[in-house]
Amino acid sequence: MSFNFRTMKHQNYRLVTLKHLLINQEKQIGIKFYPDKMVQTIIKGLPAIKWSKQFGMAYIKNNSKNLDLIFSDFRGVAWVNGSHFFNKKSKAKGVELVSVDSFRKRELPENYRKCPESFLQKLELKHYALNTSKTYIHLFEVFINAHKNIALTDIDENMIRLYLQSLVQQQKSSSYINQMINSIKFYYEVVMEMPNRFYSIERPIKRESLPKVISLEEVQSIINNTNNVKHKCIVSLLYSAGLRRSELLNLKLQDIDSKRMVIIVKNGKGNKDRLTILSPTVLEDLRTYYKEWEPKNYLFESPKGEKYSAQSVLNIIKRAAKKGEIHKNITPHMLRHSFATHLLENGTDLRYIQVLLGHNSTRTTEIYAQVATNQLKLIKSPIELLNLS
Protein backbone atom coordinates (compact mmCIF):
# COMPACT_ATOMS: atom_id res chain seq x y z
CA MET A 1 0.00 0.00 0.00
CA SER A 2 1.51 3.35 -1.03
CA PHE A 3 1.17 6.57 0.87
CA ASN A 4 1.68 10.10 -0.39
CA PHE A 5 2.55 12.38 2.51
CA ARG A 6 2.25 15.48 0.34
CA THR A 7 -1.41 14.89 -0.45
CA MET A 8 -2.49 14.82 3.20
CA LYS A 9 -2.95 17.83 5.39
CA HIS A 10 -0.98 17.64 8.63
CA GLN A 11 -4.04 17.86 10.87
CA ASN A 12 -5.67 14.87 9.14
CA TYR A 13 -2.59 12.66 9.21
CA ARG A 14 -2.93 9.51 11.30
CA LEU A 15 -0.60 6.52 11.14
CA VAL A 16 -0.80 3.13 12.82
CA THR A 17 2.13 0.72 12.47
CA LEU A 18 1.86 -3.03 13.02
CA LYS A 19 4.69 -5.03 14.60
CA HIS A 20 5.22 -8.68 15.46
CA LEU A 21 5.58 -9.35 19.19
CA LEU A 22 6.06 -12.48 21.29
CA ILE A 23 4.65 -12.03 24.79
CA ASN A 24 4.34 -14.94 27.23
CA GLN A 25 5.24 -17.34 24.41
CA GLU A 26 2.26 -16.19 22.32
CA LYS A 27 2.40 -14.29 19.04
CA GLN A 28 0.79 -10.86 19.27
CA ILE A 29 0.07 -7.99 16.89
CA GLY A 30 1.83 -4.90 18.19
CA ILE A 31 0.06 -1.59 17.38
CA LYS A 32 2.28 1.48 17.44
CA PHE A 33 0.70 4.93 17.07
CA TYR A 34 1.09 8.60 17.81
CA PRO A 35 -1.25 10.05 20.51
CA ASP A 36 -4.58 10.82 18.87
CA LYS A 37 -8.06 10.69 20.44
CA MET A 38 -9.71 9.03 17.45
CA VAL A 39 -6.98 6.37 17.14
CA GLN A 40 -7.01 5.72 20.89
CA THR A 41 -10.79 5.28 20.88
CA ILE A 42 -10.61 2.70 18.11
CA ILE A 43 -7.76 0.82 19.80
CA LYS A 44 -9.62 0.68 23.12
CA GLY A 45 -12.55 -0.89 21.26
CA LEU A 46 -10.46 -3.82 20.00
CA PRO A 47 -11.17 -7.13 21.84
CA ALA A 48 -8.80 -8.00 24.73
CA ILE A 49 -6.43 -5.16 23.85
CA LYS A 50 -3.46 -4.76 26.21
CA TRP A 51 -0.51 -2.43 26.67
CA SER A 52 3.18 -3.48 26.76
CA LYS A 53 5.50 -1.23 28.75
CA GLN A 54 8.47 -3.19 27.44
CA PHE A 55 7.70 -2.46 23.78
CA GLY A 56 5.81 0.80 24.29
CA MET A 57 2.77 -0.19 22.25
CA ALA A 58 -0.64 -1.79 22.45
CA TYR A 59 -1.03 -5.41 21.43
CA ILE A 60 -3.70 -7.92 20.54
CA LYS A 61 -3.61 -11.66 19.92
CA ASN A 62 -2.20 -12.50 16.49
CA ASN A 63 -4.87 -14.17 14.38
CA SER A 64 -6.53 -13.45 11.04
CA LYS A 65 -9.78 -12.28 12.66
CA ASN A 66 -8.03 -9.58 14.72
CA LEU A 67 -5.87 -8.54 11.76
CA ASP A 68 -8.95 -8.08 9.57
CA LEU A 69 -10.63 -6.15 12.39
CA ILE A 70 -7.71 -3.72 12.66
CA PHE A 71 -7.80 -2.88 8.95
CA SER A 72 -11.60 -2.65 9.01
CA ASP A 73 -11.82 -0.35 12.07
CA PHE A 74 -9.10 2.03 10.88
CA ARG A 75 -10.35 2.28 7.29
CA GLY A 76 -10.92 5.95 6.47
CA VAL A 77 -9.52 7.04 9.84
CA ALA A 78 -5.83 6.17 9.75
CA TRP A 79 -3.35 4.57 7.40
CA VAL A 80 -2.25 1.14 8.65
CA ASN A 81 1.40 0.53 7.86
CA GLY A 82 1.92 -3.23 7.54
CA SER A 83 5.33 -3.11 5.82
CA HIS A 84 7.08 -4.27 9.01
CA PHE A 85 4.48 -6.95 9.70
CA PHE A 86 4.06 -8.91 6.51
CA ASN A 87 6.88 -11.09 5.19
CA LYS A 88 8.55 -9.84 2.05
CA LYS A 89 8.38 -12.23 -0.87
CA SER A 90 11.60 -13.93 -1.81
CA LYS A 91 13.33 -12.25 -4.74
CA ALA A 92 15.27 -15.38 -5.59
CA LYS A 93 13.02 -16.92 -8.21
CA GLY A 94 14.27 -19.46 -10.71
CA VAL A 95 17.67 -19.97 -9.09
CA GLU A 96 19.37 -23.27 -8.40
CA LEU A 97 18.17 -25.05 -5.29
CA VAL A 98 20.69 -24.71 -2.48
CA SER A 99 21.11 -27.79 -0.31
CA VAL A 100 22.59 -27.69 3.17
CA ASP A 101 22.44 -31.47 3.62
CA SER A 102 26.09 -31.56 4.65
CA PHE A 103 25.11 -29.73 7.84
CA ARG A 104 22.43 -32.31 8.58
CA LYS A 105 24.91 -35.17 8.19
CA ARG A 106 27.70 -33.72 10.32
CA GLU A 107 29.17 -35.56 13.24
CA LEU A 108 28.83 -33.18 16.17
CA PRO A 109 30.37 -33.18 19.65
CA GLU A 110 28.27 -34.41 22.52
CA ASN A 111 25.97 -31.75 24.04
CA TYR A 112 26.49 -29.51 20.99
CA ARG A 113 23.35 -27.50 20.22
CA LYS A 114 22.84 -27.71 16.47
CA CYS A 115 20.90 -25.41 14.19
CA PRO A 116 17.15 -26.24 14.15
CA GLU A 117 15.92 -28.14 11.10
CA SER A 118 13.42 -25.33 10.44
CA PHE A 119 16.41 -22.96 10.04
CA LEU A 120 18.00 -25.22 7.40
CA GLN A 121 14.72 -25.72 5.55
CA LYS A 122 14.04 -21.99 5.31
CA LEU A 123 17.52 -21.34 3.88
CA GLU A 124 16.81 -23.90 1.16
CA LEU A 125 13.26 -22.73 0.44
CA LYS A 126 14.34 -19.11 0.10
CA HIS A 127 17.31 -20.07 -2.12
CA TYR A 128 19.93 -18.39 0.03
CA ALA A 129 23.41 -18.57 -1.50
CA LEU A 130 25.48 -21.46 -0.17
CA ASN A 131 28.17 -19.19 1.30
CA THR A 132 25.52 -17.09 3.06
CA SER A 133 23.84 -20.26 4.34
CA LYS A 134 27.11 -21.59 5.74
CA THR A 135 27.79 -18.29 7.49
CA TYR A 136 24.29 -18.07 9.00
CA ILE A 137 24.35 -21.67 10.24
CA HIS A 138 27.81 -21.37 11.76
CA LEU A 139 27.13 -18.08 13.53
CA PHE A 140 23.68 -19.04 14.78
CA GLU A 141 25.14 -22.21 16.27
CA VAL A 142 27.83 -20.15 17.98
CA PHE A 143 25.06 -17.98 19.41
CA ILE A 144 22.73 -20.78 20.59
CA ASN A 145 25.62 -22.71 22.15
CA ALA A 146 26.39 -19.62 24.21
CA HIS A 147 22.77 -19.89 25.49
CA LYS A 148 22.65 -23.68 25.70
CA ASN A 149 20.34 -23.91 28.71
CA ILE A 150 17.79 -21.36 27.48
CA ALA A 151 14.89 -22.15 25.15
CA LEU A 152 15.19 -20.19 21.91
CA THR A 153 11.80 -18.55 22.43
CA ASP A 154 12.93 -17.36 25.89
CA ILE A 155 15.91 -15.42 24.55
CA ASP A 156 14.98 -11.73 24.62
CA GLU A 157 16.50 -8.54 23.22
CA ASN A 158 18.42 -7.77 26.39
CA MET A 159 20.15 -11.17 26.32
CA ILE A 160 21.12 -10.57 22.70
CA ARG A 161 22.48 -7.09 23.50
CA LEU A 162 24.61 -8.51 26.32
CA TYR A 163 25.90 -11.20 23.98
CA LEU A 164 26.74 -8.65 21.26
CA GLN A 165 28.44 -6.51 23.88
CA SER A 166 30.62 -9.50 24.78
CA LEU A 167 31.61 -9.80 21.10
CA VAL A 168 32.66 -6.15 21.11
CA GLN A 169 34.74 -6.78 24.24
CA GLN A 170 36.34 -9.74 22.45
CA GLN A 171 37.26 -7.22 19.70
CA LYS A 172 35.29 -9.05 17.04
CA SER A 173 35.04 -7.07 13.80
CA SER A 174 31.98 -5.00 12.89
CA SER A 175 31.45 -7.33 9.93
CA TYR A 176 31.40 -10.38 12.23
CA ILE A 177 28.94 -8.74 14.61
CA ASN A 178 26.66 -7.62 11.77
CA GLN A 179 26.64 -11.13 10.34
CA MET A 180 25.87 -12.51 13.80
CA ILE A 181 22.88 -10.13 14.04
CA ASN A 182 21.74 -11.22 10.57
CA SER A 183 21.81 -14.89 11.54
CA ILE A 184 19.86 -14.23 14.76
CA LYS A 185 17.31 -12.06 13.00
CA PHE A 186 16.95 -14.70 10.27
CA TYR A 187 15.79 -17.24 12.82
CA TYR A 188 13.32 -15.02 14.68
CA GLU A 189 12.11 -12.90 11.78
CA VAL A 190 12.10 -15.36 8.87
CA VAL A 191 11.97 -18.85 10.37
CA MET A 192 9.70 -17.96 13.30
CA GLU A 193 7.83 -15.38 11.17
CA MET A 194 8.35 -12.56 13.64
CA PRO A 195 9.77 -9.85 11.36
CA ASN A 196 10.26 -7.25 14.08
CA ARG A 197 10.91 -8.94 17.37
CA PHE A 198 14.45 -7.57 17.43
CA TYR A 199 14.00 -4.46 15.32
CA SER A 200 15.54 -2.18 17.99
CA ILE A 201 18.88 -4.01 18.28
CA GLU A 202 21.69 -1.59 17.49
CA ARG A 203 24.21 -2.49 14.82
CA PRO A 204 27.86 -1.43 14.98
CA ILE A 205 28.80 1.40 12.65
CA LYS A 206 30.35 -0.12 9.57
CA ARG A 207 33.94 0.91 9.07
CA GLU A 208 34.32 2.56 5.68
CA SER A 209 37.53 1.25 4.15
CA LEU A 210 38.86 2.08 0.71
CA PRO A 211 39.02 -0.71 -1.88
CA LYS A 212 42.49 -2.17 -2.36
CA VAL A 213 43.70 -1.59 -5.89
CA ILE A 214 46.81 -2.58 -7.83
CA SER A 215 48.35 -0.84 -10.83
CA LEU A 216 48.05 -1.82 -14.48
CA GLU A 217 51.68 -2.90 -14.40
CA GLU A 218 51.01 -5.22 -11.46
CA VAL A 219 47.98 -6.74 -13.21
CA GLN A 220 50.16 -7.31 -16.28
CA SER A 221 52.83 -8.97 -14.15
CA ILE A 222 50.36 -11.35 -12.49
CA ILE A 223 48.89 -12.42 -15.85
CA ASN A 224 52.36 -12.88 -17.37
CA ASN A 225 53.49 -15.07 -14.49
CA THR A 226 50.64 -17.59 -14.55
CA ASN A 227 51.67 -21.19 -15.22
CA ASN A 228 49.43 -22.06 -18.17
CA VAL A 229 46.64 -20.80 -20.41
CA LYS A 230 43.94 -21.99 -17.99
CA HIS A 231 45.41 -19.99 -15.12
CA LYS A 232 45.93 -17.03 -17.45
CA CYS A 233 42.25 -17.09 -18.45
CA ILE A 234 41.13 -17.25 -14.81
CA VAL A 235 43.15 -14.18 -13.81
CA SER A 236 42.31 -12.32 -17.02
CA LEU A 237 38.57 -12.89 -16.65
CA LEU A 238 38.51 -11.74 -13.02
CA TYR A 239 40.18 -8.48 -14.04
CA SER A 240 38.80 -7.85 -17.55
CA ALA A 241 35.15 -8.43 -16.61
CA GLY A 242 35.15 -7.30 -12.95
CA LEU A 243 33.92 -10.70 -11.75
CA ARG A 244 33.62 -11.89 -8.20
CA ARG A 245 35.42 -15.19 -7.58
CA SER A 246 32.11 -17.03 -7.00
CA GLU A 247 30.75 -15.61 -10.28
CA LEU A 248 33.79 -16.84 -12.17
CA LEU A 249 33.47 -20.34 -10.69
CA ASN A 250 29.76 -20.51 -11.61
CA LEU A 251 30.35 -19.62 -15.28
CA LYS A 252 29.24 -22.28 -17.75
CA LEU A 253 30.35 -22.63 -21.34
CA GLN A 254 27.14 -21.10 -22.70
CA ASP A 255 27.64 -17.99 -20.55
CA ILE A 256 30.41 -16.79 -22.86
CA ASP A 257 28.55 -15.06 -25.70
CA SER A 258 31.16 -14.39 -28.37
CA LYS A 259 28.61 -13.06 -30.88
CA ARG A 260 27.50 -10.21 -28.61
CA MET A 261 30.90 -10.05 -26.86
CA VAL A 262 29.37 -10.25 -23.40
CA ILE A 263 29.61 -12.55 -20.40
CA ILE A 264 26.31 -13.62 -18.81
CA VAL A 265 26.66 -13.59 -15.02
CA LYS A 266 23.86 -15.66 -13.49
CA ASN A 267 22.83 -15.60 -9.85
CA GLY A 268 25.43 -13.08 -8.79
CA LYS A 269 25.36 -11.42 -5.41
CA GLY A 270 21.74 -11.01 -4.32
CA ASN A 271 20.73 -13.67 -6.90
CA LYS A 272 20.89 -11.08 -9.69
CA ASP A 273 21.72 -11.75 -13.35
CA ARG A 274 23.73 -9.23 -15.34
CA LEU A 275 25.89 -8.80 -18.42
CA THR A 276 29.50 -7.71 -18.37
CA ILE A 277 32.07 -7.15 -21.09
CA LEU A 278 34.02 -9.88 -22.91
CA SER A 279 37.48 -8.76 -23.97
CA PRO A 280 38.51 -9.79 -27.52
CA THR A 281 42.01 -10.56 -26.20
CA VAL A 282 40.64 -12.77 -23.44
CA LEU A 283 38.30 -14.47 -25.92
CA GLU A 284 41.29 -15.60 -28.01
CA ASP A 285 42.92 -17.07 -24.90
CA LEU A 286 39.64 -18.76 -23.95
CA ARG A 287 39.46 -20.44 -27.37
CA THR A 288 43.00 -21.76 -26.95
CA TYR A 289 42.16 -22.92 -23.44
CA TYR A 290 38.99 -24.69 -24.60
CA LYS A 291 40.80 -26.69 -27.29
CA GLU A 292 43.51 -27.72 -24.85
CA TRP A 293 41.49 -28.48 -21.70
CA GLU A 294 38.06 -29.41 -23.16
CA PRO A 295 35.79 -28.42 -20.24
CA LYS A 296 32.38 -30.11 -20.41
CA ASN A 297 29.98 -28.06 -18.26
CA TYR A 298 31.58 -25.32 -16.19
CA LEU A 299 34.02 -23.01 -17.93
CA PHE A 300 36.67 -23.95 -15.36
CA GLU A 301 36.61 -27.47 -13.98
CA SER A 302 38.69 -29.59 -11.67
CA PRO A 303 40.52 -32.68 -13.04
CA LYS A 304 37.44 -34.71 -11.99
CA GLY A 305 35.13 -32.51 -14.06
CA GLU A 306 33.66 -30.72 -11.05
CA LYS A 307 33.38 -26.98 -10.45
CA TYR A 308 36.81 -25.41 -9.85
CA SER A 309 37.50 -24.55 -6.22
CA ALA A 310 37.76 -21.07 -4.71
CA GLN A 311 41.02 -22.01 -3.00
CA SER A 312 42.57 -23.01 -6.33
CA VAL A 313 41.79 -19.58 -7.78
CA LEU A 314 43.39 -17.88 -4.79
CA ASN A 315 46.47 -20.09 -5.07
CA ILE A 316 46.88 -19.23 -8.76
CA ILE A 317 46.88 -15.50 -8.00
CA LYS A 318 49.20 -15.84 -4.99
CA ARG A 319 51.76 -17.89 -6.96
CA ALA A 320 51.69 -15.54 -9.94
CA ALA A 321 52.07 -12.46 -7.72
CA LYS A 322 54.99 -14.03 -5.86
CA LYS A 323 56.64 -15.05 -9.12
CA GLY A 324 56.19 -11.49 -10.38
CA GLU A 325 57.83 -10.16 -7.19
CA ILE A 326 54.72 -8.25 -6.11
CA HIS A 327 55.06 -7.89 -2.36
CA LYS A 328 51.38 -7.38 -1.59
CA ASN A 329 48.63 -9.64 -0.34
CA ILE A 330 46.82 -9.97 -3.68
CA THR A 331 43.29 -11.43 -3.62
CA PRO A 332 40.77 -12.17 -6.41
CA HIS A 333 38.57 -9.30 -5.25
CA MET A 334 41.45 -6.85 -5.68
CA LEU A 335 41.33 -7.59 -9.41
CA ARG A 336 37.62 -6.64 -9.43
CA HIS A 337 38.40 -3.42 -7.53
CA SER A 338 41.22 -2.66 -9.96
CA PHE A 339 38.93 -3.25 -12.95
CA ALA A 340 36.46 -0.63 -11.68
CA THR A 341 39.15 1.88 -10.69
CA HIS A 342 41.05 1.62 -13.98
CA LEU A 343 37.80 2.06 -15.95
CA LEU A 344 37.03 5.20 -13.95
CA GLU A 345 40.54 6.56 -14.47
CA ASN A 346 40.10 6.06 -18.22
CA GLY A 347 36.92 8.15 -18.26
CA THR A 348 34.20 5.47 -18.18
CA ASP A 349 30.92 6.83 -16.83
CA LEU A 350 30.23 5.74 -13.24
CA ARG A 351 26.76 4.49 -14.19
CA TYR A 352 28.21 2.02 -16.71
CA ILE A 353 30.69 0.77 -14.11
CA GLN A 354 27.78 0.30 -11.69
CA VAL A 355 25.97 -1.91 -14.23
CA LEU A 356 29.10 -3.94 -15.02
CA LEU A 357 29.76 -4.59 -11.34
CA GLY A 358 26.11 -5.37 -10.55
CA HIS A 359 25.74 -2.71 -7.85
CA ASN A 360 22.22 -1.65 -6.86
CA SER A 361 23.24 1.96 -6.32
CA THR A 362 25.90 4.33 -7.64
CA ARG A 363 26.68 5.11 -3.99
CA THR A 364 28.41 1.73 -3.76
CA THR A 365 30.33 2.39 -6.97
CA GLU A 366 31.31 5.95 -6.02
CA ILE A 367 33.88 4.67 -3.53
CA TYR A 368 36.19 3.95 -6.49
CA ALA A 369 36.39 7.68 -7.14
CA GLN A 370 38.33 7.92 -3.88
CA VAL A 371 41.11 5.65 -5.14
CA ALA A 372 41.25 6.79 -8.77
CA THR A 373 44.49 8.76 -9.16
CA ASN A 374 44.07 10.40 -12.57
CA GLN A 375 42.61 13.59 -11.07
CA LEU A 376 44.88 13.54 -8.04
CA LYS A 377 47.92 13.70 -10.30
CA LEU A 378 46.70 17.06 -11.60
CA ILE A 379 46.71 18.58 -8.11
CA LYS A 380 49.97 20.17 -6.99
CA SER A 381 50.90 20.12 -3.34
CA PRO A 382 51.37 23.61 -1.82
CA ILE A 383 54.91 22.58 -0.87
CA GLU A 384 55.79 23.04 -4.54
CA LEU A 385 55.28 26.79 -3.97
CA LEU A 386 58.17 26.83 -1.49
CA ASN A 387 61.83 27.26 -2.34
CA LEU A 388 63.40 24.25 -0.62
CA SER A 389 66.60 24.06 -2.68
Q: Which residues carry out catalysis?
A: 244, 269, 333, 336, 359, 368
**How is the chain split among helix, strand and coil, in percent rounded to 5?**
50, 10, 40
DSSP character at residue 152: G
DSSP character at residue 376: G
- Residue 221: which H helix or E strand, with range? helix 216-224
Beta bridge pairs of residue 28: 21, 61
Write out the DSSP string of 35-96: --HHHHHHHHTSTT-EEETTTTEEEEE-SHHHHHHHHHHHTTT-EEE-TTTSPPPPS--SPP
The span from the first CA to the last CA of the chain, in angstroms, equals: 71
Asked if residue 371 lies in contact with residue 213, where contact means CB atoms within 8 angstroms, the answer is: yes
User: What phi and psi, each to the nearest 5 degrees, are found at residue 226?
Assistant: -75, 160
Side-chain half-sphere exposure of 153, counting CA atoms within 13 A: 11
Pick from 333, 314, 310, 332: nearest CA to 250: 310
Helices (H), 170-206: 174-185
